[in-house]
Every structure is written in structure tokens, then in C-alpha cells.
Amino acid sequence: MCRFLVYKGTNPILLSDLILNPTHSILTQSYDCRLRLDSLPHNGDGFGVGYYTTPTLSAEPCIFTSTTPAWNCVNLSRLAKKTASSLVFAHVRATTSGALSESNCHPFSYGSLMFMHNGHIANFKKIKRAIVSAIRDEYFLMVEGSTDSEWAFAVFLDTLHSLGHSPKSPPEAQNERVGGGGGGGGGFGHGVLRQALLGTIRRLNEFLDEAGTGEPSLLNFAATDGYSVVCTRYVCSRTDEAASLYFSSGTRFHEYKEGGFYRMERHDRGQDLVMVASEPLTFERGDWVTVPTNSILTINKQTVLIHPIIDKYYQQNPAYSRSAAFAESKGMVAEPIVPSKSVKNGAKKLGVRSGKDAHPPTIPDRLPSGSDEGE
């Protein structure tokens, strides 16, 4: 499975402080993935970085992809040390479908939108024809690669269109992005993006049901229009855990000790930056909060909102312990959600808002720190 990282902040951050320097940066995760349990914990089938500049240059993101493993790409290092943005997507790939090619590397883009996926659509070949028949021509023609992830993006674009919004022409920005992304009130709006991503999952479930696919799909998605960000942690099952997903928020993410030792500082109840990651970038226990399984996380002006995804796979009992066996069979670690008073207090301190009936997030006890075989 892949790994992705999202950064959204009031101020720009140097890309090297996100993807190169931290002790467990996404570059490190490309060759030393601690939350994969298979025998080869590598994500070396290419990578991609997408970020926004000032609207005077373009509303579209700048995207750099390569089939070279992230740990072996000197150009990535050169660019990251000289590039800053306040809204960044990064992805390292371990292929489950699609050939090794730049057209299959995330993030994908269309107009001002970016999209990433960690997981897989089960028996994708059985539903691909149905997807092709269901979406509009412009989104069928948009697909350049052969991954299930890019076809999921096509469904997302078609769903956004069906909501009455042209993916190619977002509403004009009410305020300019601050430092190349993240600020202002432009774009489609976080509510619209959330509904489009929820609609995408609903439609994929319908395709899977019609095809009689019994195996669960892992649908950890991330989408942005350059202003708001929406992410899902989702599995098509009532009893299984989804692939891992965490977030961290605060006022400053910095290196407090030489050698790549970073941490999140929180000076008050407000927050100036939010990160979402398949694996934490640091080993600081208090920095990272687990996103509950089958929920959607929204970042709007550095405010984190978490809502449960209420469908046939929703578990009303927040104390229900989902099985991690399926995620582990795919090489993933999936930690159970265990509500606790201390976690609720921690979430309040971080300024997290949960939707109605949302499961309270948990802080992981630790990251696995063992050998190449994961835990």
C-alpha cells in the first residue's frame, strides 16, 4: 500500500521540512515503512509532490512526479530545499494496480483540484466498465493512467459536476491564498468537497455491490481545491479496520534537535497548521491523533472537523472493536479505536470539532520501531 501526506498552514513551509528532514518523513517511509506488516516495507514504485503557488501564477497546483524511488531522486532533494508552500500533497507509491509509470503516480490533478489515494478498490476490473459507462466524457478522457485510484478521481470529478459545480471552473477566490495556498475563502468550499467525496464513496459502493464483490475495499482519499482539504479513512466493511490515518495540528512544526527530530508546538488553543498522514512523521506520541475508521476529516482555515460516514458500514456502537486482520493481510497496521476520557480532553485541546455521533479520536501509544518486517 501507498503512503500520503497533507500539509495545510497559514504560512508556507519548506518542502524539505515535510518530506525530507523529519526522522520518519514520507521519504523515509518510502524505504522504511513502519506501519506495513509485509516482508518488504517499501513504497518504491514512484512518488509525487503537489503544491500551490500564488494565484497570480495559476490556480492550478504544481505537480512533480517520478517513477524513481523517492529515496534515490536527487531532483526531489534539490527542489524540496528551495520550494515552500502552505498547501502540499505528497505521496509514495506501492503499486496494487497499474504499471510503473509517471501517469500512475499520485497526486492526480484536474484544474485547481488535487487527489490522492491510499488503499485499493477490490476486484477493480469487475467495476471498471461500470465506472466508464457512468461518468461524463470529459472525466473519462481525463484519465491518463491505469490505476484504480485515478478512476476513483474521475468518479469524484463526475460527482462534483452532478452537485452543480464545474470541476474546471471553481468559484472565484474571495481572498487570495496566503503564501501559495491555505488562506482565504475561495474554491468550492469545504462542504461541497465533503459531499463530493462522500458521493464518490457511495457510488463506488454501488458499483461494488452490483458486481458482487465480497472483499472489502480500502478507501483512504485526500482531495483539495487549493483552499479546503477533505480526507477519508474508510473500509467497505462493518467489522474490519481501515488502513491507518493520523492528523496533527498546532502553531509550529520545527526541528527542535539536530538529526531530524521534529515536533508540533501548540502555543494556544488556536492552530496555524494541520498535517494528515498515513504514518506519523515523528515519534512524539502527543503530536498525532488517530482518525477514526469510516470517518471524513475536513480542514477549513486550519480548523479540523471530523464526521462519521453514516452508511451501511457505519457502526453505531463507538466501543465496537473492529478486526485489524484484513488491513494486516494487505500489509497495513490498523489500530482499534478505544474512546477514553483522556483522549477527549486531548482532542479538545487540539481544537478538533467532531460531527454528530462522531467517535472520539485516539492518540497512538507508539509507532512500531522494530526491524524491516514492521512490528
| 2 included as an active-site residue | yes
The answer to whether the CB of 86 falls within 8 A of the CB of 10 is yes
CA distance 73 to 18: 16
Q: Which residues make Cβ contacts (< 8 Å) with residue 82, sequence separation at least 6?
A: none
CA distance 360 to 316: 13
CA distance 220 to 269: 28
CA distance 202 to 222: 16
Instruction: Name residue, grid cell 490498523.
Output: 334
State the amino acid at position 371 in one-letter form: S
Q: Which residues make Cβ contacts (< 8 Å) with residue 150, sequence separation at least 6?
A: 98, 104, 108, 143, 144
Q: How far is CA 298 from CA 53, 100, 144, 232, 268, in A?
A: 21, 31, 28, 9, 21
CA distance 14 to 180: 12
Kindly state the helix (H) or strand (E) to which residue 300 belongs, with its residue range.
Answer: strand 295-300
**Active site residue ranges:** 2
